[in-house]
Structure 1
Amino acid sequence: MPQDETLQMLKALTDAKGIPGNEREARHVMKEYIAPFADEVSTDGLGSLVAVKKGDENGPKIMVAGHLDEVGFMVTQIDEKGFIRFQTVGGWWSQVMLAQRVTITTKKGDITGVIGSKPPHILPPEARKKPVEIKEMFIDIGASSKEEAAEWGVTPGDMVTPYFEFTVMNNEKMLLAKAWDNRIGCAIAIDVLKGLQNEQHPNVVYGVGTVQEEVGLRGARTSAQMIQPDIGFGVDVGIAGDTPGVSSKDALSKMGDGPQIVLYDASMVSHKGLRDFVTGVADEKGIPYQFDSMAGGGTDSGAIHLTANGVPALSITIPTRYIHSHAAMLHRDDFENAVKLIVEVIKRLDRKTVDQITFD
């Protein structure tokens, strides 16, 4: 276990298992870490965690949302030989799945499996050149029959998660883990409340762990409806463009160069007034940042900004390599600078400033 308190939190969050609709374990971890800094903690009807920290009770409501769920799989059936058929839950690229270890969470405990397919040695040459389709894959848990798998507790509907342990790399700023998408957003929400502990802030801050983001921004919709925020921040992962073969026209951001201020994605055009305010604070405090835009994909901001009469919202993301796979990598400095930036922004979001951002 890492000695550093922050690394302990990041390990606990990322090692936790929680696909969309099964976020309980991740929610409990987030609650454990955020509760000491919150005045109250509650859950909405879908299971999103809402931690409230009150500065000025009559001030604007500021929502900082990271999603609890990770991409994974769900058991759909067990065949006669004990092999598991499954459904992806969230977006997966077939090429990152084969021969990967997974954990099936059953009513009798966790079971280890591996994703398999027909071996290439017995395929015709043309078939070998093509990626294996997800529908042709299965999970092998070492069972000899359907009855044995059932005896071990495997049931259709069981959650299946990638298996990977949190790892600090040789460059200790580089952190490798499953589920950075989006336990890093949950960690940002926790540390923002922590960073406001001894600070005056003219507002009420909501640190939120939303559910079911990967299947349609669902928990952000319900939790924002409950909160009715005046300003919303979706904190999530973004694409790092600093690996071989990626050009600047594909993705601009580099790990370690600061959090990403998202200009637009498929779910939202960011609010220009809020975006300008945030970058102004970053410039004033010397906090590094990068601009990013994504033609595909979206974040919780996409649901938050459509709440009630509309909410000025902005996505602040962490450049991350290899998302939606078993292991992703990010840079600790980007996480810490995102927290620092959001804390500084919140300290300035009084009623007058929020009204100016919203109605100017």
Structure 2
Amino acid sequence: MSKPLDETLVMLKDLTDAKGIPGNEREVREVVKKYISPYADEITQDNLGSLIAKKVGKADGPKIMVAGHLDEVGFMVTQITEKGFIKFQTVGGWWSQVMLAQRVTVMTRKGDITGIIGSKPPHILSPEARKKPAEIKDMFIDIGASSKAEAMEWGVLPGDSIVPYFEFTIMNNEKMLLAKAWDNRIGCAIAIDVLKNLKGVEHPNTVFGVATVQEEVGLRGAKTATAHIQPDIGFAVDVGIAGDTPGISEKESMSKMGEGPQIVLYDASIVAHKGLRDFVVQTAEENNIPFQYESMPGGGTDAGAIHLTANGVPALSITVATRYIHSNAAMLHRDDYENAVKLIVEVIKKLDQDTVNKIIFD
């Protein structure tokens, strides 16, 4: 018999089970809204769809933004063949080798439909074909329809979202959690828990827990949400690369699951603000919160958009080392998530106006 889920695990399951690719994040936004509303003084939404939960500590203090993104990588229906198969466009970054034979959910106007990304049996593949990775442009999704007319009768239309399917799973080591869409429902969970941990606590600022849209296609929601908030300090909370599996070298990633949140020094979207980075590291050390340094030559987080808004916002990415991101299922360690929350809460408690000025101008 499986062990009952505690309150945190129920939230994480609800977040990861929810479906939302870039441009269609409504279902996920409603889940975040449900969990963050009890800890917010005000809930608003920008015109692109990002959710903004405001919690006032000191009304005339600095504005601190903590942003996770709602969207997950997925696909979009582009065409239905005469035989009822679905051709699709990737939405967000995919590697073809993790896609074949994976189960997906097509979100239609008449309800969800199960599909599978088709694959050829090995029995009919030539030795040359077996060595060659399948190209995304040649892939299709099978929903069991016999014709285009039948697929459309079921509600399928071009533009429909297609989401990877995977059930939230607690591993034998109960700290290890396997689910779809950790990228970046874990960031949304961190934003929720930061506000939860600040309930009834004095803090010398106003905190904005933000769930942004369309991060996976260009950090778009972070641009609009940051323009709306005009924060003094910004944090992007996201997943990072776990370097503790076979085949990943220390040069590619030195991070290990369970050894603390990652403080990202550099990625393709941002060079971390040195003053803010040093302040966060000092806070972690003072509170004995484990952390790891990380840098990534490719990819980026919402911090890349946050720091370029208006006349500039000191920003930093704090991430959770995660295995197998941008696939149907990924794995992370609960301790890293909880320590990320603890670190951000301790940082926020210290971010008064003088401290923010020192970070910016020293």
Aligned twin of 1:205? 207
Displacement of 1:17? 0.1
Name the counterpart of 1:67. Answer: 69
5 Å matches for 1:285-300?
285-300=287-302
Which ranges in structure 2 are unaligned for 5 or more consecutive residues?
none
Which position in structure 1 is the counterpart of 2:218? 216
Structure 2 residue aligned with 1:14: 16
Letter in 2 for 1:319: A
Q: In structure 1, what is the Cα distance between the partners aligned to 2:171 and 2:316?
A: 31
CA-CA distance at 1:246 after TM superposition: 1.6
Instruction: Give 2:345's aligned residue.
Output: 343
Aligned-partner SS, 1:277: helix
Alpha carbons of structure 1 residues 111 and 255: separation in structure 2 relative to 1, 3 Å? same
CA deviation vs aligned residue, 1:138-157 (integer Å, no higher than 9, x gap)? 00000000000000000000
Contact 1:2–1:8 (CA under 8 A) maintained in structure 2: no
CA apart distance, 1:121: 3.5
Would you say the 8 A contact 1:117–1:136 is kept in 2? Answer: no
> Hey, what's the Cα distance between the residues in 2 that align with 1:274 and 1:280?
10
Structure 1 segments (4+ residues) deviating >4 Å: none
Q: 2:201 and 2:46 mapped to 1: Cα distance? A: 28
Matched residues in 2 for 1:119 and 1:223: separation? 47
Does residue 309 in structure 1 map to residue 311 in structure 2? yes
Equivalence for 1:43? 45
How many Å separate the matches in 2 of 1:16 and 1:190? 16
Q: Distance in 2 between matches of 1:20 and 1:40?
A: 25
2:260 aligns to what? 258
Task: Report the Cα offset of residue 2 of structure 1.
Answer: 4.3
Residues of 2 paired with 1:92 and 1:359: CA distance?
40
Instruction: State the alpha-carbon separation in 2 of the partners of residues 58 and 144 from structure 1.
Output: 63
Q: Could you tell me which residue of structure 2 aligns to residue 143 of structure 1?
A: 145
- State the distance in 1 between where 2:235 and 2:184 align: 14
Determine helix, strand or coil for the equivalent of 1:202: coil
Q: In the TM superposition, what is the alpha-carbon distance from 1:3 to its structure 2 partner?
A: 2.7
2:330 paired residue among 328, 331, 339: 328
Q: What is the count of residue pairs matched by the alignment? A: 360
* Shift of residue 119, structure 1, vs aligned partner: 4.1
CA deviations on 1:242-278 (whole Å, 9 max, x unpaired) are 0012221111000000000000000000000000000
Give me the whole-angstrom Cα distance separating, in 1, the residues matched to 2:281 and 2:101.
43
Matched residues in 1 for 2:144 and 2:199: separation?
50
Match of 1:353 among 332, 352, 355: 355
**Partner Cα separation in structure 2 for residue 12 and residue 193 of structure 1:** 18
Q: Specify which of 87, 90, 93 is matched with residue 89 of structure 2.
A: 87
Residue identity opposite 2:232 in structure 1: D
**How well do the aligned residues superpose, as a CA RMSD in angstroms?**
0.9
Q: Which amino acid in 1 is paired with 2:151?
A: A
1:317-348 C-alpha deviation (Å, 9 max, x unpaired): 00000000000000000000000000000000
1:114 aligned to which of 116, 119, 134:
116
In 2, the alpha carbon distance for the partners of 1:119 and 1:131 equals 14
In 2, the alpha carbon distance for the partners of 1:190 and 1:210 equals 13
**Contact 1:115–1:139 (8 Å) recurs in 2:** yes
Which residue number corresponds to residue 34 of structure 1?
A: 36
Gaps of at least 5 residues in structure 1 are none
Q: CA deviation at 1:118?
A: 4.2
Structure 2-normalised TM-score? 0.98
CA distance in 1, matches of 2:85, 2:171: 35
* TM-score after normalising by structure 1: 0.99
Say whether the 8 Å CA contact 1:178–1:327 is kept in structure 2.
yes
Shift of residue 198, structure 1, vs aligned partner: 1.9
User: How far is the alpha carbon of 1:103 from its aligned partner?
Assistant: 0.2
2:164 to 162, 165, 171: 162
Residue 280 of structure 2 corresponds to 278
Matches of 1:206 and 1:343 in 2, distance apart?
12
- Among all aligned residue pairs of Structure 1 and Structure 2, give the percentage whose two residues are the same amino acid: 78
Residue 60 of structure 2 is aligned to residue 58 of structure 1? yes
Going from structure 1 to structure 2, the CA distance change for 1:136 and 1:26 (only over 3 Å counts) comes to same
